[in-house]
């Protein structure tokens, strides 16, 4: 009998331990089940967002289709970063549906766009077609316009190109610039200002026309004036306007990647609407090659502004090699003219611009503005 007491105790302890263990096991099993259920819910929710399978049933397609576009439009965007940033609450500017969204407006675009790649390989040997460029840029809308879908750009930028008989160059320009501008998150439109006829070319007058015609099309804040043959070699050279008039093309291959002289303002430059009006726009009276860029530089400094420039390692450009065009011979009056900017800028500029608008055509990759701009006045007789 005395031996049975510890035996009973032992059995009871075992029984109690067994029950406790059983309870623990049940709790763990239950936890696993709950965890599994949560995982399944999350999995299906995410799956539906990516492939939009539920949207057509529940009418919530505005925000859902947006996720899909958002991920595609971001070169470096991973699914993890998409969840981590909370960007999935943003809305696209695309008119996906008639349902009016109640979500927050787009955030401002970042000062330093995250998708930039830096130095670019630029070459002009491969064949280029507009069809190819169009395929490469499905997000560019009629007239060569683009608005970042995931953020609100501070400025609306018109890019203006003086043009005549340079279709070959234009294809390369569009091929390289559209993706660069998209990565830079610029809200932009491209305007090709095409001088009709075969009279002497007038680059600066075409640029004035570009400013005027672009403003008829949309409320632009910033105007970037670019030669058709100049391609930036670094996408950190951001195509928007700055506190001071901007000179972008500071280190060109044709000048050994250096600024040729301190007052050089040729190639690619950018002015805000106010900066442009402050200098009365550009001169209309420089016919033929040369001088007009120096006149613009004079206008800027004479009006108390300074030229701003990017770092020399970033402001690098390639120019497509070319011969001097017909009817754009060097202007022999240019040296005299740039001595007189202080006087001429008041009467010659955006306030005296005259031209005949012949046609505006919105192509998929750019807007073409064809104009007649007249010809240089007859030279005064010598003596
Ligand atoms: C330099 C400047 C340019 C301008 C010019 C003098 C550089 C890289 N650029 O260019 O900004 O100051 O000297 O006027 O230094 N164009 C046509 N068809 C023509 C003629 C000209 O489309 O028949 C346009 C085109 O956009 C071209 C631009 O005008 O890129 C400048 O003409 P250019 O390329 O013949 O002159 P370039 O390279 O010496
Ligand atoms: Mn050129």
Q: What is the pLDDT of residues 63-105, one digit of tens each?
A: 222 222 222 223 333 222 222 222 222 222 333 344 455 678 9
How many other β-carbons are positioned within 10 Å of the β-carbon of residue 372?
13
| 268 found inside a domain | yes
Is position 289 annotated as part of the catalytic site? yes
Residue 282 is predicted with a pLDDT of 98
Q: How far is CA 11 from CA 17, 19, 272, in A?
A: 10, 12, 91
| 99 found inside a domain | no
| 68 found inside a domain | no
Of ligand 1's listed atoms, the one at least distance from the Cα of 166 is 22
Max intra-chain CA distance, the chain: 147
Is position 19 annotated as part of the catalytic site? no
- Cα distance between residue 200 and residue 329, in whole Å: 8
Question: Do the Cβ atoms of 358 and 181 come closer than 8 Å?
Answer: no
| 204 found inside a domain | yes
Q: Cα(209) to centroid of ligand 1, in Å?
A: 16
Query: Which stretch of DSSP H or E encloses residue 77?
Result: none
| Tokens 């399978």 found at | 53
Q: Which residues sit opposite 108 in a β-bridge?
A: 152
Report the candidate in 327, 323, 287, 279 with the shortest Cα–Cα distance to residue 304.
279
- Cα distance between residue 92 and residue 338, in whole Å: 49
Catalytic residue among 187, 213, 227, 294: 227
| 356 found inside a domain | yes
**Of all protein residues, whose CA lies closest to atom 12 belonging to ligand 1?**
266
Is position 229 annotated as part of the catalytic site? yes
- The residue whose CB lies within 8 Å of the most ligand 1 atoms, and thus the one to mutate among 165, 198, 203, 270, is 203
b (16+ CB within 10 A) / e for 105-123: ebeebeeebeebeeebebe
Report the candidate in 61, 36, 37, 41 with the shortest Cα–Cα distance to residue 49.
61
Cα 170–Cα 176–Cα 177 angle in degrees, nearest 5:
85
Catalytic residue among 289, 305, 327, 329: 289
| 105 found inside a domain | no
Question: Do the Cβ atoms of 231 and 277 come closer than 8 Å?
Answer: no
**Of all protein residues, whose CA lies closest to atom 10 belonging to ligand 1?**
267
| 102 found inside a domain | no
Both tokens of 154, joined, read 């501070």
**Of all protein residues, whose CA lies closest to atom 16 belonging to ligand 1?**
163
| 14 found inside a domain | no
Residue 67 is predicted with a pLDDT of 27
332: domain CATH number?
3.90.550.10
Catalytic residue among 87, 132, 217, 319: 319
Q: Which residues line ligand 1 (CB under 6 A)?
A: 161-166, 201, 203, 227-230, 252, 266-267, 289-290, 292-293, 319, 324-325, 328
For the chain, 383 residues long, give each residue's pLDDT as a single digit of tens: 445 556 665 676 677 777 777 887 687 777 757 766 666 555 544 333 333 323 322 323 322 222 222 222 233 332 222 222 222 222 223 333 444 556 789 999 999 999 999 999 999 999 999 999 999 999 999 999 999 999 999 999 999 999 999 999 999 999 999 999 999 999 999 999 999 999 999 999 999 999 999 999 999 999 999 999 999 999 999 999 999 999 999 999 999 999 999 999 999 999 999 999 999 999 999 999 999 999 999 999 999 999 999 999 999 999 999 999 999 999 999 999 999 999 999 999 999 999 999 999 999 999 999 999 999 999 777 65
Is position 173 annotated as part of the catalytic site? no
Counted domains in the chain: 1
Give the structural domain span for 261: 130-372
As a residue count, the chain comes to: 383
pTM of the model: 0.77
Catalytic residue among 1, 324, 379, 382: 324
């Amino acid at each position: 009998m005395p031996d049975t007491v510890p035996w009973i105790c032992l059995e009871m302890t075992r029984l109690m331990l067994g029950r406790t263990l059983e309870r623990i096991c049940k709790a763990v099993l239950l936890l696993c089940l709950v965890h599994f259920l949560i995982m399944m819910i999350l999995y299906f929710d995410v799956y539906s967002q990516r492939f939009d399978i539920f949207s057509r049933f529940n009418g919530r397609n505005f925000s859902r289709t947006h996720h899909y576009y958002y991920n595609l439009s971001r070169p470096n965007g991973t699914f993890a970063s998409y969840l981590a940033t909370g960007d999935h609450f943003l809305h696209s500017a695309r008119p996906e549906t008639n349902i009016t969204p109640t979500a927050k407006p787009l955030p401002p675009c970042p000062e330093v766009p995250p998708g930039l790649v830096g130095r670019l390989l630029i070459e002009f040997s491969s064949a280029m077609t507009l069809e190819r460029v169009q395929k490469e840029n499905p997000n560019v809308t009629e007239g060569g316009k683009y608005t970042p879908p995931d953020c609100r750009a501070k400025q609306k930028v018109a890019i203006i190109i003086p043009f005549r008989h340079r279709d070959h160059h234009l294809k390369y320009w569009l091929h390289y610039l559209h993706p660069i501008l998209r990565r830079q998150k610029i809200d932009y439109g491209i305007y090709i200002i095409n001088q009709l006829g075969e009279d002497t070319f007038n680059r600066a007058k075409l640029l004035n026309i570009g400013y005027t015609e672009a403003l008829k099309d949309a409320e632009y804040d910033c105007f970037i004036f670019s030669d058709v043959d100049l391609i930036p070699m670094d996408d950190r050279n951001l195509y928007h306007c700055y506190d001071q008039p901007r000179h972008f093309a500071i280190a060109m291959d044709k000048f050994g990647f250096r600024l040729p002289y301190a007052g050089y303002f040729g190639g690619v430059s950018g002015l805000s609407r106010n900066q442009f009006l402050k200098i009365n726009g550009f001169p209309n009276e420089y016919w033929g090659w040369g001088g007009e860029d120096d006149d613009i530089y004079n206008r800027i400094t004479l009006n108390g502004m300074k030229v701003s420039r990017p770092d020399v390692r970033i402001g690098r450009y390639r120019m497509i090699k070319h011969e001097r065009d017909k009817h754009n011979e060097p202007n022999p009056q240019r040296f005299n003219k740039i001595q007189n900017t202080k006087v001429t800028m008041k009467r010659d500029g955006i306030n005296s611009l005259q031209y005949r608008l012949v046609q505006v055509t919105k192509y998929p990759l750019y807007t073409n503005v064809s104009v007649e701009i007249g010809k240089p006045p007859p030279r005064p007789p010598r003596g």
